[in-house]
Amino acid sequence: MPSTARDAPRFDDRRTAFQKLGCLLEPWLYSAPALILIVTVMLAPLVLGISYAFRDIKLLDPFSGGFVGLKHFYALAADRAFRGALVNTLWWTFTSVLLQFLLGLVLALLLNQPFRGRAIAQALCFLPWAVPSFLSGLDWAWMFNPVVGPIPHWLYALGWMSEPANILANPEHAMWGPIVANVWWGIPFFAITMLAALQAIPKDLYEAAALDGAGPLERFRSITLPFLAPTIAISVLLRTVWIANFADLIVVMTNGGPADRTQIVASYIFTQAFRRLDFGYASAIALVLLVLLLVYSMLIVALRQTLLARH
């Protein structure tokens, strides 16, 4: 029977065992390929990875692999580079998400009005998302490079720099490079999700408000924002987690430098794993990152529950 509804226990169920089994299994059969893939390729390594955090795994050392307990975590606690990476991660995540969100929202609002050429404008504005992230990183790195790029020269011309120099080589400001690249690449995501949400708002609400005498700002505040709020919340939450984990741009543009000033936790993990081949230590760092992100997510969920309960 098509299981389109949950049913009370049946007193008089004369289906064959085969039929009952088929009915129960049906949704699982449809989801099986996806689930198998996820479990084997993502969960199994995850569990393995967590175990590595407690073992000594150096790829090139055939004698490594022994259980070392919390040794990595002690080392982590004392690791100044790690603490620097934590701070950088906060800075990186916060600034990227804020800028992407604000600029993406504005773009979505702009695109929500019909105008001639809107389809083309929309396609072009969303294009940066199609650009492979590493390419975007390289591209922006080149644009920041005074040798082949225009940006240092423009900044110099604007008076913001004393001489055309490469921001990426400046420990103080190097982080802006990847941030700008990240914002450029990430605006389309926010714009697309917000645009979809904006288009789902019934137009008559605006008409009714306009008749009632509400100006554009007032309509935005009392109609648009409340409707957008859930979408904003979900997008921001997901992207924050995603960006905190996003190491590609940094690895490509600055490799964490100069002097580890752009190193975030995710890129630090990569460096430890890929460059130094110390899988154990890398896994320990990753585990800490995972725990931090879980705590963050649960805080958000708790926040959402309290907000919902209050209404």
Partner 1 sequence: MASIEIQSVTKSYGPVPVLHGVDLSIGDGEFVVLVGPSGCGKSTLLRMIAGLEDVTSGEIRINGRRVNEVEPKDRDIAMVFQSYALYPHMSVADNMSYSLRLRKTAKQRITAAVAAAAGKLGLDPLLERRPRALSGGQRQRVAMGRAIVRQPKAFLFDEPLSNLDARLREQMRAEIKRLHHEIAATSIYVTHDQIEAMTLADRIVAMHGGIVQQVGSPLDLYDRPANLFVAGFIGSPAMNFVKGQVREAAIETGDGSRVALPAALELAERHAVIIGIRPEHVRILREGERDGHVAGVDLVEPTGFGTIVHVRLLGEDLKVYTLDRSAAEVGRPLRLALDAERLHLFDGENGIRLN
Partner 2 sequence: MMTPKHLILMILHRLAVLAYVVFALFPLFWLLKVSVTPNNLLYSEGVKLWPSRPSLEHYVFVLEHSDFPTFFLNSTIVSGTTAVIVSIVASTAGYAMSRFQFRGKYWVVGLMLLTQMFPLVMLIAPMFKMLSPLGLTNSLSGLVVVYVAFNVPFATFLMQSFFDGIPKDLEEAAMIDGATRWLAFRQIILPLTLPGIAATLGFVFTAAWSELLFALMLISGNKAATFPVGLLSFVSKFSVDFGQMMAAGVLALIPACLFFLLIQRYLVQGLTAGAVKG
Residues 262-291 binding partner 2 (CB under 8 A) are 266, 269-270, 273-274, 279, 282-283, 286-287, 289-290
Task: Single out the residue of 77, 90, 102, 196 in contact with partner 2 (rule: CB under 8 A).
Answer: 196
Site for partner 2 in 96-125 (CB under 8 A): 106-107, 110-111, 113, 115, 119, 121-125
Of 137, 135, 170, 134, the closest CA to residue 152 belongs to 170
The tokens describing 162, both together, are 């004393």
Q: In 3-state terms, the chain is what percent helix, strand and coil (to 5)?
A: 70, 0, 25
Q: Which is nearer to partner 2, 109 or 209 (CB)?
A: 109
Q: Please report, in angstroms and rounded to a whole number, the separation of the first and last CA atoms in the chain.
A: 40
Q: Which is nearer to partner 1, 26 or 207 (CB)?
A: 26
Task: Single out the residue of 87, 210, 238, 302 in contact with partner 2 (rule: CB under 8 A).
Answer: 238
Go through 279-311 and write b for each residue having 16 or more CB atoms within 10 A of its CB, e for each that does not: bbbbbbbbbbbeeeeeeeeeebeeeeeeeeeee
The distance of closest approach from Cβ of residue 204 to partner 2 in the complex, given in angstroms and rounded to an integer, is 15
Q: Where are the beta strands (DSSP E) in 37-155?
A: none
The distance of closest approach from Cβ of residue 1 to partner 1 in the complex, given in angstroms and rounded to an integer, is 5
Using only C-alpha atoms, what is the Rg of the chain?
25
Judge whether 303 and 309 are in contact, CB under 8 Å. no
Question: Which range binds partner 2 by CB under 8 A, 12-20, 66-74, 167-175, 192-200?
Answer: 192-200
Q: Where are the beta strands (DSSP E) in the chain?
A: none
How many residues form the binding site for partner 2 (CB under 8 A)? Answer: 96
Of 103, 141, 126, the closest CA to residue 249 belongs to 141
Q: Is 1 in the site for partner 1 (CB under 8 A)?
A: yes
Q: Choose the contact partner of 102 out of partner 2, partner 1, none; CB within 5 to 8 A by kind.
A: none
Q: Choose the contact partner of 16 out of partner 2, partner 1, none; CB within 5 to 8 A by kind.
A: partner 1
Q: Is 263 left (phi over 0), alpha (psi -120 to 50) or beta?
A: beta
> What gap in Å lies between CA 37 and CA 23, rounded to an integer?
23
The distance of closest approach from Cβ of residue 8 to partner 1 in the complex, given in angstroms and rounded to an integer, is 4
Q: Which is nearer to partner 2, 172 or 233 (CB)?
A: 233
Place of tokens 């004698």: 63
The interface mask with partner 1, positions 12-41, x = CB under 8 A, is x-xxx--x----------------------
How many residues form the binding site for partner 1 (CB under 8 A)? Answer: 14
What residue ranges bind partner 1 (CB under 8 A)? 1-2, 4-8, 10-12, 14-16, 19
